[in-house]
Structures are given as C-alpha cells and as structure tokens.
Amino acid sequence: MENIKGKVIVITGASSGFGKITAEHLSEQGAMLALGARSVEKIEALAKKINDKGGKAIAVATDVTDKDQVKNLIDSAVKEFGKIDVLLNNAGIMPLSPLEYLKIEDWDQTIDVNIKGVLYGIAAALPHMKEQKSGQIISVSSVAGHTIGPGSAVYSATKHSVRVISEGLRQEVKPYNIRTAVISPGAVDTDLPNSITADDVSENIKNFYSETAIAPDSFVRAVAFTISQPEDVDVNEILFRPTKQEL
C-alpha cells in the first residue's frame, strides 16, 4: 500500500457507504482527499474527523448530476493539493423496479447519476491528468453491469455503460500515461438498497442483502489494491461478489 501515500484522491458520493469507508482507509494510508457529496454536513464532518486524526481532507458540496459542481470538486482538489492522482467515481443509486412500473423519474435519475455523473467526473479530471501526464480514473460499476435480472433493466444498463465508458477511455488515454479501472461489487452491506422506491422490490432486496451481503471493507480492499499498483501496472477491472451470491 506504500504507493497510496501522498496521492491526491477525489471521491464522489463520499458522505456514506463505499465513499466514506474508502476515504477513511485511504487517509490512514497517507492519501490526501477531496470529498464530494450532496450532504454537506456529512462530508464536512468526515473531513474534520480525518483532519483531526492528522490526515488531510477537504469537503466540497457536489451533486454529480451538475457538471459545474463536479468540475468545482476537481478544481478545488488541484487548488488545495496541487494535483489530482486518482478520481473515484463512486456516486451511484440503485432504484430497481420492473419496467412495467413506469418509474420514469427513477430512470432519469439513475441515468443522470450513474452515467452522466461518471462522464462529468472524467470531463473534469481529464484536462488536469493530461497536463500532468499521469492519473487514474476508477469508476464503480456492479455485478449488475455484467448480468441482468427482472427489475434491473435500467440499473444494469447504466452500470454496463460505466464499463463501456471506462474501456473506451482506457484506449484513448494511453498517450497521457493515464490508467483506468472499473470495480464491480455484488451484494455489499451499504445503504444502496435505500434508493429503491418500489416497496415490494425494496423489501425483497433488503431481505436478500441481509442474508447475503458482505462487509464494505471488501470494496475498500479492491480500491486500495487498484491504486497501490506501480505506474506501469494498469488494473482495468475487478468483479467480486459474496461467495454465496448466485447471480
């Protein structure tokens, strides 16, 4: 993990779940952090906790569906720390429902957060990384980006898109020594199921998670492994799930 020390890492969706626990772990490894999320109080509290422990972190109010706010997050990191080494496109939602429920607002929000949010992150970070001739962009997909089931059509489509975007980016940024990765978790114990608005689906998924989900530090280890690799090693994709998860 020595290669994490001193790196400037920007995390979207940093107020809870994957983002929060990953930020805490990376800070312990010596990273400097720019934390973005809509919940200002939560990321400010997290930044204070990190700084009080001797780490370095800033909190920047960020709605990833707003490209200007995402750009401000990245630019704030560069202004504060002088560079950006890693962008973790972590913000995401999972409002599962069958298409026949016609939850069109959920569809729109899922596309805006899970696809546009990733693209806005890339758009904000890429100019800095091109100038530096270095950097790493890690985006969070899902097992649902590799498979499909009833109720997951839109969510799976967005998470498949994350993989496609990241692979396209990987091929394009070779001249700039930039690395890309996608991390695809299965059922991991976070508050992601809380974004499901269909009551029957929510109950089923929460029951599934209570029986199957593994601890969120499984995700943290995947991120830390990816970041810690030397500059000439480009880990492009990690797919993991609970041992007992079938799909």
pLDDT per residue, tens digit, the chain (247 aa), is 679 999 999 999 999 999 999 999 999 999 999 999 999 999 999 999 999 999 999 999 999 999 999 999 999 999 999 999 999 999 999 999 999 999 999 999 999 999 999 999 999 999 999 999 999 999 999 999 999 999 999 999 999 999 999 999 999 999 999 999 999 999 999 888 888 999 899 999 999 998 999 999 999 999 999 999 999 999 999 999 999 998 8
- Whether 92 is covered by a domain: the verdict is yes
- Whether 244 is covered by a domain: the verdict is no
Q: Please tell me the predicted confidence (pLDDT) of residue 192.
A: 82
- Whether 168 is covered by a domain: the verdict is yes
User: Which of helix, strand or coil describes residue 190?
Assistant: coil
| Nearest-angstrom CA–CA distance, 167 and 240 | 18
Number of structural domains, the chain? 1
| Nearest-angstrom CA–CA distance, 77 and 80 | 5
- Whether 247 is covered by a domain: the verdict is no
Instruction: Starting at the earlier edge strand, list the strands of the sheet with 32-37.
Output: 56-61, 32-37, 8-12, 86-89, 135-140, 178-185, 237-240
**178 and 134 Cβ atoms separated by less than 8 Å:** yes
Q: Please tell me the predicted confidence (pLDDT) of residue 223.
A: 98
3-state helix, strand and coil shares in percent for the chain, rounded to the nearest 5: 55, 15, 30
| Known catalytic membership, residue 101 | no
- Whether 80 is covered by a domain: the verdict is yes
- Whether 27 is covered by a domain: the verdict is yes
Catalytic pick among 101, 155, 176, 209:
155
- Whether 234 is covered by a domain: the verdict is yes
Q: Please tell me the predicted confidence (pLDDT) of residue 1.
A: 64
Instruction: Select from 94, 215, 205 the least CA-distant residue to 145.
Output: 94
- Whether 216 is covered by a domain: the verdict is yes
Identify the domain containing residue 64 by its residue range: 2-239
42: domain CATH number?
3.40.50.720
Q: Please tell me the predicted confidence (pLDDT) of residue 2.
A: 77
Quick one: DSSP state of residue 145?
G
Cα 55 to Cα 44, 52, 137, 185, 245: the distances in Å are 14, 7, 22, 28, 36
Is the pTM above the cut of 0.85? yes
